[in-house]
Amino acid sequence: MKITMIGASGFVGTRLIDLLLHDEGNTYYVKNIDLQHSHFFDSHTTIGDVRIQEDMDKGIADSDVVVLLAAQHRDDVSPVSLYYDTNVGGMEKVLNAMEKNNVKRIVFFSSVAVYGLNKNNPNEEHPKDPFNDYGKSKWQAEQMLQKWYESHPDWNINIIRPTVTFGERNRGNVYNLLRQISGGKFLMVGKGNNVKSMAYVGNVTAFVKYMIDNLKDGYNVFNYIDKPDYTMNDLVPLVSKVMNKHIPSIRVPYAIGMMGGYCFDLLTKITGRKFAISSVRVKKFCSTTQFDSTKAHSIGFKPPYTLDEGLTRTLEFEFLHPAKDEIVFKSE
């Protein structure tokens, strides 16, 4: 099977390439098209831009499946038009290239951000209400796929909406949280009862492989979350156990936390610097981000790791036995 990945030099893409290339049961030819070189799979990587039609036309030729990961995803991208140029315009370029090359299977990485904040455990049919430009652009890309499928019913379109994804070498929100907790510098904003759905990268990539191997027809959409969900109050004792250390936590009311976030917003506006704290990040930290993944876990897929195992593997790799090569992937 010839699989062309677009934007796979990052965190999830690197793990997916590794999983496919080292699978003993199947033979995959994997190609990656990305603006950046790959730290681990550069021999499989061609430099290309999802926003340029010629790059997509050439790169997708002779493929069986396209896996589209390329996206603007940080919450501080400027100008905001970059979200739409890449996440929506890139989708259009990819679909055009697939049609030109008679490629009829695509796996698209969307996001649970399409649902918005503080929703009540939404499943795949829940109304979409994205609150930021990242979520809005991902939803627009999905709508483009929906419309495309109406005129291309013989295509196979698989969409995964993962929740926040963590794992070894990732430098995103979950890593920052684990680092703060394990380092004893954790500040609990609010009561800590808010639920945080998470997904371990080893399970996310395994689910994508499952879709490639087994879901070869129709239009399919899946949330992906590892269960059971954790609250912030659940996470602290797990870190304490793995790190074998007592971890004190300081609590501040939500209103004070948001005030601090607005202060950093002002500093960013005045100085032009980007800080680790902002009002958006405080709001996201204190929000409930719980999503239903019954559908993904009821089609025969068995995640290779529990959430506890994923968190433990990450903590041990990052803080107990850190890699010496210092290769990391920055994300949200």
How confident is the model over 127-175, as pLDDT tens digits?
Answer: 999 999 999 999 999 999 999 999 999 999 999 999 999 999 999 889 9
Tokens of 267: 């500093």
The neighbouring-strand residues paired with 230 are 196
Domains and CATH numbers, the chain: 2-231+286-317 (3.40.50.720)
HEC profile for the chain?
A: CEEEEECCCCHHHHHHHHHHHCCCCCCCEEEEEECCCCCCCHHHEEECCCCCHHHHHHHHCCCCEEEECCCCCCCCCCCCHHHHHHHCHHHHHHHHHHHHCCCCEEEEECCHHHHCCCCCCCCCCCCCCCCCHHHHHHHHHHHHHHHHHHHCCCCEEEEEEECCEECCCEECHHHHHHHHHHCCCCEEECCCCCEEEEEEHHHHHHHHHHHHHHCCCCEEEEEECEEEEEEHHHHHHHHHHHHCCCCCCEEECHHHHHHHHHHHHHHHHHHCCCCCCCHHHHHHHHCCECCCCCCHHHCCCCCCCCHHHHHHHHHHHHHHCCCCCCCCEECC
Q: How far apart are CA 256 and CA 186, in angstroms?
A: 15
Flag whether the pTM goes above 0.75: yes
Highest mean predicted confidence (pLDDT) among 46-60, 239-253, 254-268, 277-291: 46-60
Q: How far apart are CA 141 and CA 146, in angstroms?
A: 9
Q: Quick one: how far is CA 284 from the chain centroid?
A: 15
With contact defined as beta carbons under 8 Å apart, do 155 and 65 qualify?
no
Is 83 a catalytic site residue?
no
List of residues 6+ apart from 109 with CB closer than 8 A? 12, 67, 68, 69, 71, 160, 162
How confident is the model over 269-318, as pLDDT tens digits?
Answer: 999 998 878 898 788 778 778 999 999 999 999 999 999 999 999 999 99
Can you say whether residue 165 is alpha, beta or left, with left for phi > 0 and alpha for psi between -120 and 50 degrees?
A: beta
Count of alpha carbons within 13 Å of 256, Cβ hemisphere only? 9
From the CB of residue 175, how many other CB atoms can be counted at a distance below 10 Å? 21
Residue 258 in this model has a pLDDT that exceeds 90: yes
With contact defined as beta carbons under 8 Å apart, do 8 and 44 qualify?
no
Q: Which of 90-94, 110-114, 117-121, 313-317 has the lowest mean pLDDT?
A: 117-121
Catalytic residue among 83, 115, 134, 175: 134
The owner of tokens 């796979």 is 8
Band (pLDDT 50/70/90 cuts) for residue 332 is low
With contact defined as beta carbons under 8 Å apart, do 53 and 96 qualify?
yes
